[in-house]
Structure 1
Amino acid sequence: MVFDYVFELNGTDNIFWIFYVMNLILSAIAYQLGFAKKLPIAKNIIVYILLMVGTFVITIFSTVMRMPTIECLIIIILVLGIYRFRLHRERKNRSDVQEDNA
């Protein structure tokens, strides 16, 4: 679905790099929502470099084999966003209850 839309807008010019940037942004958001922990800056740089390399491989699947990687990343981001929102709301409610008991 996304591939066809981008292909209609841009043709074949730079389609690999367009999908690479889209995959990289969505992968970074999914990483931040679901898996990121407080790391020192050097380790954080290494993680993002490895994310960039992995995204290159994912982009090959996305463009050459036309697998729906962008659509899957969007769904992953939605699910992780809902999870984080509910976790935040539950922690807030729990802290409110503890303050009321004090």
Structure 2
Amino acid sequence: QGAAEVRRRLDNGVYIFVLPPSIEACRARLRTRGKDDEAEIERRLNIALEEIVRAPEYDYIIINDSLDDSFETLAAIIRAEKVKEVRIKEKVKSLFGPGVR
């Protein structure tokens, strides 16, 4: 719900949803941290499942199976977003004149 509120306020943002490779992987990661008991881990997993349903509302989804791969995907998204027409049109106009849309 927090992300939906941010999107309502900042509709020109780029929204990326980062998913674990599976719920079991998420559970294992939470256990490895050693910060939460089993009840808290299950509570957090239930919240995660509720949030995952909203993933299609985001512009991009990254499945975080490998940190390096996820970082590369994020970098590719950033590169692509920098050259989107809506972000670069003013530069194009300054280079080629106001007749260019």
Which category describes the TM-score, using the shorter chain as reference length? Answer: 0.3 to 0.5
- The structure in which a higher percent of residues are strand is 2
The TM-score with structure 2 as length reference comes to 0.38
Task: State TM-score, norm by structure 1.
Answer: 0.38
